[in-house]
Chain A
Amino acid sequence: MFNIRDELQCYVTCISDSGLLPLIGVVLLAATLMFGLYLKSTDTKNRLISLVLGQLSILAAIALIIHAMNCSQMLSLEIYMAYVILSTSIILLLPRVYYKVLIKRYKARPITEIMDWPQEFVDELDIKATVYYYDSAVPGAFASGKAIFLSIGMLELTDTPELKAILAHEVWHLRHNNKTPILRQLALMSFTGNHSQDELEILADRFAEKTVGKAALESARAKLV
């Protein structure tokens, strides 16, 4: 049975007997300093670096404690490690599979079943992504992983240049998301997103404008407001 008092007793005895206590103290102090720095700094780069160093110090402390432990009562550590491994893999894997969940949820079908040019247009923009359509009259477009989703409502509402602007906008999002998945996840974890959502939309629009021209982008925007 898991008994917190026995377990704590076990930690105290093992660690004080091992002679590693000062070293563990120093590492934990470093971790505290790093987390303090993370909370205080306003600069994105410093925040990221201090968060990563803080986490690494904690990992080092855990390694030292495991090394110091002679008894088998380390359930709390094992639970924590399982949590770290699980959450990290979820954070890193989820964006790679989430679009498949979206395809199922929206019952999306490849757009090539009903028209060819949107897929050809996206291929020309040099990105590996499939364009899907889904059954809804509400105009909608979004992108995730390796997929761009368009509702039939969006296909109805827009003409070809406008739809190209929307596709280019979504392609930019995909490119931005795919470039640095780990850094992006780190930014999310440390609440240091480089750009706000609005800024991202503006950047995506700028790319769309460059690809298909201002007129198409503006008329698409006007229709969707």
Chain B
Amino acid sequence: MTKTLPYFLLGTSIFLFSFLSYAKTEKVTETPLPNGLIVHEYKMQNGMRLLFVPERSAPVFTYQVWFRVGSATEKMDPKLKKTGLAHLFEHMMFRGTPKVPDGKFDTILSEAGATGLNATTWNDRTNYFESLPKESLDLVFRLESDRMANLVINEKLFKTELGAVIGEYKMNEDKPSRVAYRELYDLAFTVHPYKYTTLGTLEELNSFTVEEARFFYKKYYAPNNATLILLGDFEIPQAIKLAEKYYGKMKSQEIPEHVPPTEPAQEKLRTKEQIHPLAQTDLIMTGYHIPNINHQDIPALEVAASILAYGNGSYYEENLVQAGIASSASCYTAKSRYPSLFVTSVQLATGQDTKKALSVIEEGVNFVRKGKFSSTELERAKNQYLLYTYSELLSLSSIGSTLGESLMSSGSYTRDFEILEAIKAITKEQVVEAANKYFVDKNKNLLTLKPKAK
């Protein structure tokens, strides 16, 4: 195992409640990252959270705004009870405000030299981001805060953007792997909102109204539901002043903490077959129910995923892909706010037998459950995870994404690094125990996506 600085032990112990607070903005913590950069956390009076990561090796910065709302939230909201609006609304945010008319937001930022201007929506969060030269910090604060408070939502813009979203929906329908993913979650969940996709259904999309969009905006795009992550070349006092100037007047809202229906424990194996007109070979996906990101078993499950499918030396790469049974194989632990899935995805090679592939997938599961992996394989798996996490620290935007995803799903922006520390110390016994707890048939969902018969 590679030796690294005990950065996180240092980070957790700091918790500096600074006396150097600003009029309306309080300093909360200061946490070093594994690469030595420091995350400075502040909280504004209206509840907006600010994470600053100064890094001055180039005259640029990355600006990300994260909202604690996603497709699962809207499904739980008693006034909406549908999915698709959170994502459709993400599109609407690029339209206009009274001060920045439709079409101008992109243009102004582009003229200032913005790169990576985009947004994404997921189950439990939505984020907006861009990177700019350092001179444009004031401009970005102005534009981002303006669209957070003053968005124009009218029928015409709503319908146009709905067209683009339907285009995105159809584009996904043409991708067998996306359809399989949707069907797996639909199979695995019976009542929890993770059952539904972020994109929603065509029926739901066509049913949304401008009033629902306005309701959604007012309720969830509030400062106490938002986090600004700013990384790069800037001074913290300057950033706090700008935050207070542009976000300070926004009023906090009452954000309901929706409690999702508890997914009943699965009692037996569930299976489903689906046909896709563009599929070429069978795609097998399995999903085992696992706990939420803050659960103590998550690090062990991450190591299990790494043993099975991270790197060319992984079990499935060797026994499925290099053996010619599959053209690709992957595993991941969905680290989410609520209990989710440990997913395996195997695309069969042409002419290969699905039964054979299923048997190798099961052998892999037993390889972990029975602890057949050596100490070298355990170390390989750990270091592959380390490589992946450290690689995320190579650019400002990916550092921001790591902090944001962690915060949105766990409540702590350092959760990913806590998992990393736990993985460094994990034992074979812990991995075996977790595998035996979760990788059992009565907890398993099996989806097979097949080509249309020729």
**A interacts with B:** no
Chain B interface residues (CB < 8 Å from chain A): none
